[in-house]
Amino acid sequence: MGVEHYLVLSAMLFVVGAYGVIVRKNLIIVLMCLELMLNSANLAFVAFARALGDMTGHVFMIMSITVAAAEVAVGLALLVSIYSHRESLDIDLLKLLKG
């Protein structure tokens, strides 16, 4: 089977993640959908690495997972901070950066 199966799956996972970011209102779930989108990009990286016989895609995936880990650490710290200020995680309430 060819690599295009993996790329179609990656596109579908990305669409689900993007849809979740747009539709959901809970800030935690929005962050999870961001992770979903990064994960689908990782799948495409590894699929291309296999198709081209080049391991650069694996290195890219390591970089991407590092960025995801850093992003989630900062994002969750911000989330806890927002929750202690606002007592809510509804993103419709977050209209100002300065609380």
Partner 1 sequence: METVVFYVFAALALAGALMVISFRNPVSSALSLVLTLVSTAVLFVLLLAHFIAVVQILVYAGAIMILFLFTVMFLNLKSDKLIFEAKNLGFKVSILLVILLFVGYFASLGFKDGVMKKTLGVSEMDGFGSIQGVGTSLLTEYLLPFELTSVLILVAIIGVVAIAKKRAN
Nearer CB in complex with partner 1: 15/95: 15
In the complex with partner 1, the residue whose CB is nearer, 29 or 95, is 29
| 94 counts as binding partner 1 under rule CB under 8 A | no
Residue 47 touches partner 1, criterion: CB under 8 A: yes
Q: Interface mask (CB under 8 A) for partner 1, residues 6-45, using x and -? A: xxxx-xxx-xxx-xx--xxxx-xx-xxx-xx--x--xx--
Tokens 């199966």 correspond to 5
Is the Cβ of residue 39 or residue 94 nearer to partner 1 in the bound state?
Answer: 39
**CA 9, 12, 16, 21 torsion: positive or negative?**
positive
Dist. CA 40–CA 19, nearest whole Å: 14
List the structure tokens of 63.
């970089």
